[in-house]
Amino acid sequence: MKKFVFYLTLILLTLAFLTGCWNRKELNDILIVQAVGIDKNQSGQFKLTYQVLKPKVLKTPTNIPSSSQQKGVWCFSSTGKSIFDAIRNATLSSDKKLFFSHNKIIVISEKVAHQGIENVLDIFLRYHEFRPDAYLIVTSDDIEKFLNSNVPIESIPAKELENVIKNYFANSKTLPISIYEFQKMSNTKSKTAPVPFVTIKSPLKQSSQSQMFYVEKMAVFSNYKLVGYLTHEELRGLLWAAGKIKRGIYPVKLGKDIFSLELIQSGSNINVKRKLGKAFFTLQITTETNLGEKYSNSYISSSLVEKIKKEFSKSIRNDVQKVLKKSFELNCDILHLGDIYYSSYKKPLNFDKNSVSVSIVVKPFIRRFGMMKE
Amino acid sequence: MKKGSISNSITPFYDQNIQNIKNEFGNFSDLIIREFKIGSSNIRSFLVMIDGLVDKMVINEHILKPLMRDISIYKKDQSTCEEMYIFIKENILYSHCITEERDWAKTVHCILCGDVALFIDGVDRCLLISVRGWESRGIEEPNTEVVVRGPREGFTENLRTNTALIRRKIRDPKLKIESIKIGKISKTDIAICYIESVAKKELVDEVKRRLEKIDMEYILESGYIESFIEDGKYSIFPTVGNSEKPDVVVGKLMEGRVAILVDGTPFALTIPYLFVEAFQTSEDYYSRPYYYSIVRLLRYFSFFVATTLPALYIAVTTFHQELLPTSLLISIASAQAGIPFPSFAETLTMLVIYEILKEAGVRLPRPVGQAISIVGALVIGEASVSAGLIGAPMVVTVAFTAISAFMIPAISDAVTIIRFACVVMSAICGLYGIMLIWILMIIHLCSLKSFGINYLAPIAPMVVHDLRDVFVRLPWRILKKRPIIFNKNF
């Protein structure tokens, strides 16, 4: 027993001196950052804009502010020679220290993106307080205006923005990408990564009070630099090749008739073969769909189904071909074909139009035709 | 004759015996000495008893009446005192329990226990007739261990009633009830119960050895005994169990434990006591096993909550905000906004208030009890939140913690101490501090033993055979074999 007390006091004493966990910070002493925007001002200094929670306003249990003035967040910005410098300079004007562990969104201005973001992202991966699973976003809007927008539903715009880009599961026309995913994709042989390009727009023509986020297109980064944009269709081609297609709607046109197919379950597989110095890629796509809607008077017969399937395959092939064409245009390997090639042959792929060919095989299947007989 | 010179044995002289009694007891207001002559003879005789400890009806009808009247029908008056004594003992007294006694000290003790002593002139012995009958509480449902299904009888303050309650459940001569007296002045009756061939002999001997070593002037409750025989004398965890229910005690006896009953208290001790017993209730065994297996797992969870939840709250809100999901952090942050105290002070205040409320609620007379709940629920729960003194999540945390502690009443005092230790340590060094307390606690639990059996058994050391009644309660068809832990050296 004496021994026990002795060791207990010893441990407690060492604790007093071993101040390993000294950084006690009460919830009332931190500013919880939800989104951060990165831009450069005229003099070339970094200008960071922060979207910070106002806990007192969020006190209502439903998290909905009573009026539009009562936003759950407020935004402010600071400048500095580096990003870390700018973050610390924020305390020159804010009453509390910024707390980044719950940062959801990193918005990068088009200007910074064109200049390259390899060094910009360094602190977000290096400093312990940042989370590598925050989503990256590029915008051409003014960052201050972008972050300070009045969103209609959530009292925290960053939360709404996060939800919007996560909706990729329903449409398969964008791809949310976190910092570590971006870093992972950029660190490959292909060195390309897509990032959502988001703008703000009015929900209705006449309304001016609130704004909505809109994922307009995808920015393509090659070697950490913004090189071009992908449309929604082109991005679908990328998702097919990467096997990341989730749910989505494919309207198939047959003459005047339109059939909307809903993607239920899809998979893809890509292989490479080398022949005569050329790389032949085979992309196999299997997809299961439901018929969701039809603009047609014709009965659904098996011959019509075959026609729809044929047209559907064609439009999938078309999407992939489009992104491939864009790849050659921008001269960057958006589909990460080089990685596939490298893993098979341990050699870098000579990425140009003449030495790369992709053949696409689509196996569509229509499972159900909905609740109507016709 | 002087008081100090009382001889150790009973004298054959009538007057001397009366004088001795008077010397021994002095001016007792509740001492009754009834002098009479046996039958129609001239043999003088007297009864000694303590008023209130004896059954008056029995004495009048079955002792005095035969001795004073009925005896003359059978016995001639000319017989000697000695003959008369033997005749009375063998033919006259209708009592079920008569002992002959020569020793003064034992006689006095028996009188104090509620026996009636019959002294006859010219005989150097007395007859101790058991007519014990005093006011006592009936068998009621115990307050501490309430069950929905299961026997509702509880022990009483009367040792004989208690042993009878146990005996009634096990009709086998293997159930041994041995009795000793402890307490130099109180001379309290203690009964050691065990089932021969089920309880290990070494265990029974060890219990007896420890009981005999007790040097105490009086024993008022089994808690006195517990503190003298327990292993971890400085431990916050109990290593001797107690129960108010005969069925619980019998269940433990059948597993190979020893029970100690103390006269004057309805709480029986059971030995050895293991950590896992705190998570078992009698109802687990009486109901169907599936639901109560879940409940038992919940009790382990409650133990974690009751010890650690307030500390976790402090650690997460002051050191590790990144661990919370964002939406949860936002609601906590919005509730904490404007609270003037750091969360440690807040937690400590709430926990102390809760302990005060609990203690006050137990001691208060029943009619005043309502005031406590109003003060607790309204003033502390509602008003302090709306006044902005305490955050609502804090109230939820403390309330949940308090309720969880009620799931494991057997070790709730230890749980409270650990809770405060965790809170203080988490305020100093976050989750690291909580881990430190838990490591210390587990080291301590591993080092504890109860009568030679590891306190954490059958978890550590693991006894797979006995694990079927630890985290879950398996059906009786599997459980019917007795645990092996008490019969081997674990």
Q: Is A352 a domain residue?
A: yes
3-state secondary structure A23-64: CCCCHHHEEEEEEEEEEECCCCCEEEEEEEECCCHHHCCCCC
pLDDT exceeds 50 at position B2: no
Residue A112, domain extent: 30-58+69-230
Task: For residues A198 and A315, state if they share a domain.
Answer: no
Higher pLDDT, B432 or A373: B432
Rounded to a whole number, what is the distance in Å from the CA of A71 to chain B's nearest CA?
A: 13
C-alpha to C-alpha distances, B446 to A6, B126, B456, B490, nearest whole angstrom:
18, 56, 6, 12
Question: What does pTM read for this prediction?
Answer: 0.84
In this predicted structure, what is the pLDDT of residue B490? 52
Chain B residues in contact with A104 (beta carbon < 8 A) = 326
CA B27 to chain A, closest CA, distance in angstroms equals 50
Is residue A168 domain-resident? yes
Residues A97 and A153 in one domain: yes
| Co-location of A52 and A191 in the same domain | yes
Helix or strand or coil: residue B213? Answer: coil
Residues 6+ apart with CB under 8 A from A288: A263, A264, A265, A266, A365, A367
- Kindly determine whether residue A30 and residue B321, on different chains, have CB atoms separated by under 8 Å: yes
Interface touch A24/B432, C-beta < 8 Å: no
For residue A119, being part of any structural domain is answered with yes
| Residues A253, A330 share a domain | yes
Quote the CA–CA distance of B295 and B306 in Å, as a whole number: 16
Number of domains chain A is built from: 2
How is residue A99 annotated by DSSP? Answer: E
- Tell me the pLDDT of chain B averaged across its residues: 88
**Which of A5, A26, A73, A166 to probe by mutation at the B interface, max B CB count within 10 Å?**
A26
Provide CB contacts within 8 A for B373, sequence distance 6+.
B361
- Tens digits of residue pLDDT in A213-245: 999 999 999 999 999 999 999 999 999 988 888
CB contact under 8 A, B336 and A27: yes
Q: Would you call A99 and B432 a contact, using CB atoms and an 8 Å cutoff? A: no
pLDDT by residue for chain A (374 residues), tens only, comes to 788 888 888 877 776 655 545 577 888 888 999 999 999 999 989 999 999 988 877 765 454 544 445 678 889 999 999 999 999 999 999 888 899 999 999 999 999 999 999 999 999 999 888 989 999 999 999 999 999 888 877 888 898 899 999 999 998 899 999 999 999 999 998 899 999 999 998 888 876 778 889 999 999 999 999 999 999 999 999 999 888 888 999 999 888 889 999 999 999 999 999 888 889 999 999 999 999 888 888 888 889 899 999 999 999 999 999 999 999 999 889 999 999 999 998 888 888 888 888 999 999 999 988 888 76
A245 and A206 within one domain = no
CATH code of the domain covering residue A271: 3.30.300.210
Is A215 found in the same domain as A245?
Answer: no
- Find the radius of gyration of the CA atoms of chain B: 30
Residues A326, A217 within the same domain: no
3-state DSSP call for residue A334?
A: coil
More confident residue, B373 or B138: B138
% of chain B surpassing 70 pLDDT: 97
Strand order in the sheet with B268-271: B175-182, B188-195, B258-262, B268-271, B241-243
Nearest to B321 among A57, A101, A156 (CB): A101
CB contact under 8 A, B334 and A27: no
For residue A3, is it within any domain?
no
Mutation test of the interface with chain A: which of B330, B344, B389, B435, choosing the one with the most A Cβ atoms within 10 A?
Answer: B330
Question: What pLDDT score was predicted for residue A374?
Answer: 66
Domain's final residue, options A196, A215, A230: A230
Q: Per-residue pLDDT averaged across B66-71, rounded? A: 82
Identify the CA nearest to B139 among candidates B157, B152, B156, B151: B156
Q: Check: CB of residue A208 under 8 Å from CB of residue A150.
A: no
Q: Say what the pLDDT of residue B4 is.
A: 45
Residues of chain A that touch chain B, judged by Cβ-Cβ distance less than 8 Å: 1, 4, 8, 11, 15, 20-21, 23-28, 30, 32, 34, 53, 55-59, 63, 99, 101-102, 104, 129, 131, 156, 159
If you measure CA to CA, which chain B residue comes closest to A130?
A: B322
Peptide bond into A251 cis (omega under 30): no
pLDDT value, residue B75: 65
Same domain, A219 and A321: no
A197 plus A94 within the same structural domain: yes
B464–A contact, CB cutoff 8 A: no
**Same domain membership, residue A240 and residue A125:** no
* Chain B residues closer than 8 Å to A99 by CB: 321
Per-residue pLDDT tens over the stretch A339-374 = 999 999 888 888 888 888 899 999 999 998 888 876
Q: Tell me, yes or no, whether A126 and A223 share the same domain.
A: yes
Please state, in angstroms and rounded to a whole number, the distance separating the CA atoms of residues B460 and B232: 17
DSSP strands (E only) in B6-162? 31-37, 44-50, 98-101, 115-120, 126-130
Is residue A351 a part of any domain in this protein?
A: yes
Residue-range domain boundaries for chain B: 14-130, 159-285, 286-447
Give a yes or no: residue A147 inside a domain: yes
Q: List all residues 6 or more positions away from B243 whose beta carbon is below 8 Å from its beta carbon.
A: B145, B249, B252, B267, B268, B270
Domain contains A354: yes
- Is the model's pLDDT at B113 over the cut of 90? no
Q: Which domain-ending residue is among A206, A230, A254?
A: A230
Per the domain annotation, does A249 fall within a domain?
Answer: yes
Residues A36 and A178 in one domain: yes
Query: How many angstroms separate the CA atoms of B23 and B18, rounded?
Result: 9
- Angle at the Cα of A161 (from A155 to A166), degrees rounded to 5? 125
Contacts of B322 in chain A (CB under 8 A): 101-102, 129, 131
- B411 secondary structure, DSSP code: G
